[in-house]
Amino acid sequence: MSAKLILGTEIREEILEEITAEVSQIKAKYGKVPGLVTILVGENPASISYVTLKIQTAHRVGFHEVQDSQPIDISEEDLLALIAKYNKDDSINGILVQLPLPKHIDEKKVLNAIDPDKDVDGFHPVNVGRLMIGGDEVKFPPCTPAGIQEMIIRAGVKTSGAEVVVVGRSNIVGKPIANMMLQKGKGANATVTIVHTGTKDLAFHCKRADILIVAAGVPDLVKPEWIKPGACVIDVGVNRVGEKISEKTGKKIAILKGDVDFEAAKEIAGSITPVPGGVGPMTITMLMLNTLKSLKFKLGIN
Ligand code: NAD
């Protein structure tokens, strides 16, 4: 039997429509819309395309969006001054600095200079701490883990009491999603195991998982025989394994593969996310949700 597909492409549309409706209600009542600034340093093509997509999405949902492009040789001092300016700007609710930054700039210093109440990426140590505490303390869960949890909720997967196994312990995916799944609350209350490069028997742990979340960045790391029949499999991995010519545009595009052997796994799992079209589209969507939340916190309407 083939697993139910959990499609980020569809869930994204639902959430963006909900955000658009809420933005217009807030605008009508308070005369304000969420403001998002994206700071781009230099002209890295991948960064330009990420920023463009973020700005286009912000525009689509009715935000006030600012793209602030800075030259590659901007000094750290000037970049910090720019962040200080947006920290004070009342029309801006979310500040996003596109990474990577050039080598002469201390990335950590820059990210830590963002006002935690405008840190819609959720990477500031204050927001990491808030996430750890959980409950009402959480303001901005980091976007990819928040997207994963939202997909699990909207797919109707039972999490309370479930065995969740997370493959990977990065600060942007593995650690935060593990932390979110163990909190007492909606889409959580699970028993969580994190496995990583130091784990002795990866297969043993994966086989126990009712919900298997894989964020390792290794194509086909998870074998079909590691999947418990009926499990929910969330494949976060995005691995470029080659190139092909797009049928739509005729241009060269990357062939992407997840961390799970999808074709075989979908015959065993109960539900599964594909790559591409699974977790990927959720990250920018949750960035929009965090920016909306930021304005709502400010207006006291949560
Ligand atoms: P990372 O390299 O920072 O972390 C990978 C983690 O996986 C590490 O903690 C490592 O211990 C673990 N790992 C690696 N190989 C392993 C192995 N053989 N056995 C057990 N554990 C292993 O990566 P990341 O930033 O967390 O990203 C992981 C993957 O998710 C990447 O493919 C990345 O492109 C993708 N990703 C996708 C999105 C999205 O779709 N929106 C967002 C973030 C990351």
User: What is the mean pLDDT for each group of 10 consecutive residues in the chain (302 residues)?
Assistant: 93 98 98 98 95 97 97 98 98 97 97 98 97 97 98 98 98 98 97 98 98 98 98 98 92 94 97 97 98 98 84
Peptide bond into 100 cis (omega under 30): yes
Catalytic residue among 54, 118, 228, 266: 54
Angstrom distance (rounded) from CA 55 to CA 60: 9
At which residue do the structure tokens 């499999």 appear? Answer: 233
Catalytic residue among 118, 119, 121, 257: 121
Of 194, 196, 214, 222, the one to substitute when testing ligand 1's pocket (max ligand atoms within 8 A of C-beta) is 196
The CB of 196 under 6 Å from ligand 1? The reply is yes
Task: Give the per-residue pLDDT at 215.
Answer: 98
Task: Give the per-residue pLDDT at 1.
Answer: 59
Angstrom distance (rounded) from CA 102 to CA 41: 8
Written as six digits, the tokens of 119 are 């840190």
The CB of 216 under 6 Å from ligand 1? The reply is yes
Quote the radius of gyration of the chain (alpha carbons, Å): 20
Task: Give the per-residue pLDDT at 248.
Answer: 87
Angle at 117 between CA 115 and CA 123, to 5 degrees: 75
Angle at 270 between CA 276 and CA 10, to 5 degrees: 40
Written as six digits, the tokens of 215 are 């964020």
Of 166, 170, 213, the one to substitute when testing ligand 1's pocket (max ligand atoms within 8 A of C-beta) is 170
